[in-house]
Amino acid sequence: MSQYPTKLSQLSNLIEHVAETAAKVIPRISAYKPGVDEACIPFIDDFVLYVTIRSYTTVPELMMSLIYLSWFRNRLPPSVTGRSSTPHRVFLAALMLAHKVHNDDSANNTCWADLSVIPECSFAGFSKVEVNLMERQFLAGLDWNLHINVDVYDLLSREAEGVRSLERLRKARQRRNPGSNLNLQIYPQLRNFSLNRSVHPKRLVLREAQLYNLIEELDSVAKNLKTVQKLETRRSDGTRTTLEKAR
């Protein structure tokens, strides 16, 4: 696999890309009248950002969720309609399954229901029953096939690393309105963490420790990948030497 992005600014672009993909999975929203559970639905980019940080999602897991979202979207008939929380539901299902495939010791569905709660937006999240239903419906949409070919992952990885337009737009917006991003005066280290929108009254406040943990996780992924690549190179060289001696 290709090397993962290790800069926080690159991860923010990937998060925005995932949020946009989730929003486009079912573009047609029905005239569903929201009940209590739908009354305080946060922006999809806020939801993706919040759940990604709280679940300590790594870059590989985020990339896998993006692939699952693309597959799910391609399998849906064009006549399908959703409601205001549909993008949030399909994203949560995709990320949850990516965690389970990538990590044998992943959180259970009760934990994912808790992770969907966003007090800052007065959003009560999804119940365990809803999360279970999301998972089953998403799996059925993918015919229960979650295997990702290495070539597909590498191709999408290169595409994600090449996404620069959102970062340029963010910098242009910052020049016009330096204080428009998420609590930059409170958290200076967030200046490289891009967001799609100007600050909202209920914009999330991320914890400094969570950001540092995320950065450390990304660095660890990159270092582990380099170590594996070195070991594979040595193993390949050793096998080649052994064959030459046998001849």
Residue-wise pLDDT for 44-98, tens only, equals 888 888 898 888 887 788 888 888 988 888 888 777 777 788 889 999 999 999 9
Asked, for residue 3, whether it belongs to a domain, the answer is: no
Render pLDDT for 22-40 as a digit per residue (tens, 0 to 9): 777 766 555 555 544 566 7
Q: Mean per-residue pLDDT for 204-209?
A: 39
- Contact between residue 56 and residue 217 where contact means Cβ atoms under 8 Å apart: yes
Whether residue 218 is predicted with pLDDT greater than 60 in this model: the reply is no
**pLDDT averaged over every residue in the chain:** 67
The boundaries of the domain holding residue 176 are 8-246
pLDDT at 187: 30
Inform me whether the pLDDT recorded for 182 exceeds 80: no
When pLDDT is cut at 50, 70 and 90, the band that residue 194 belongs to is very low
Domain count, the chain: 1
* Domain membership flag for residue 1: no
Q: Which residues pair with 67 in a beta bridge?
A: none
* 203 token code pair: 């914009």
Mean pLDDT within 138-146: 91
180's tokens: 């428009």
Residue 230 included in any domain: yes
Model confidence at 139: pLDDT above 80:
yes
Q: What is the CATH number of the domain that holds 148?
A: 1.10.472.10
Q: Is 202 exposed, middle or buried (0-12, 13-18, 19+ CB in 10 A)?
A: middle
Q: Mean per-residue pLDDT for 170-183?
A: 48
**Structure confidence by residue, pLDDT tens digits, 125-135:** 899 999 999 99
2: in domain? no
Task: Supply the pLDDT for residue 5.
Answer: 36
Token digits of residue 100: 């389970």
| Cβ contact 196:12 at 8 Å | no
